[in-house]
Amino acid sequence: MNKKIDFSKETSLIAYLDLTNMFHWQDVLKWNFSVYDVIKQLLRISSLKEVRVYYGLNERELRKSQNFHQHLRETGAIVITKPVKWIKKRVTQNLFVKPATLCLFDSNAQSKLDELITYLNQQGIVIEEPKCNFDVEMALDILDSIDKISGILLFSGDSDMKDPIERLKVKGKNIYIFGVRGMIARELSQGSSKYINFGRWYQGSKKRKTPS
């Protein structure tokens, strides 16, 4: 069990939740958490002024996505959003293996891979991946609040947050990084005032993750 985190010396905290990033943590944890319970747990911290949740709006399932955002707002969280973009991917060797790995394949393996790629292209399969990154928005929001806070609670493992974290340190702010094993950049864990294991910190409901 984590020792209870003591925020009593903090005067003004803001929590920043990169929700897409957090949902990937469930693969490591092997259980699903409730984001509503995460927010409720955060709002019990007396010095916490805001919970800011960053999550895309899926216009392909607009009503479902809007309802989810509305439920988040009803908890008291501030929701920052923008439309999800769908990026089309060409079916090539790079879709399956990295070039550095491909060079380890013998000619027979590469031939089989080429056959699969040809077959998939003949089937007219279209591959699209959602993209909705909020690193810039989070970084700007953190820097905008820098003179109003004593510290931040950052729920993200992305190395792109390194620069705003360093700016906070220069200003003498406390940085609490929440994450899970193997999914937090070294730059963040090293730059934080305290790293907090999300799986041990979280006290809400859990649902066992079933294999997909």
pLDDT for the residue numbered 11: 95
pLDDT for the residue numbered 3: 54
Q: How many CB atoms lie within 10 A of CB 116?
A: 13
pLDDT for the residue numbered 212: 54
Placement of tokens 């220069």 in the chain: 170
pLDDT for the residue numbered 183: 77
pLDDT for the residue numbered 179: 92
CA-CA-CA-CA dihedral for 92, 97, 100, 104, to nearest 10? -110
pLDDT for the residue numbered 149: 96
Placement of tokens 């929590």 in the chain: 15
pTM of the model: 0.82
CATH placement of domain 13-84+132-208: 3.40.50.1010
pLDDT for the residue numbered 1: 40
pLDDT for the residue numbered 154: 96
Nearest alpha carbon to residue 142 among 162, 118, 113: 162
Type of residue at 33:
F
Q: How many CB atoms lie within 10 A of CB 204?
A: 13
Across the chain, which has 212 residues, the per-10-residue mean pLDDT values are 74 97 94 97 96 96 97 97 88 76 80 84 80 91 95 90 90 93 77 85 90 58
In the chain, which residues fall in CATH 3.40.50.1010? 13-84+132-208
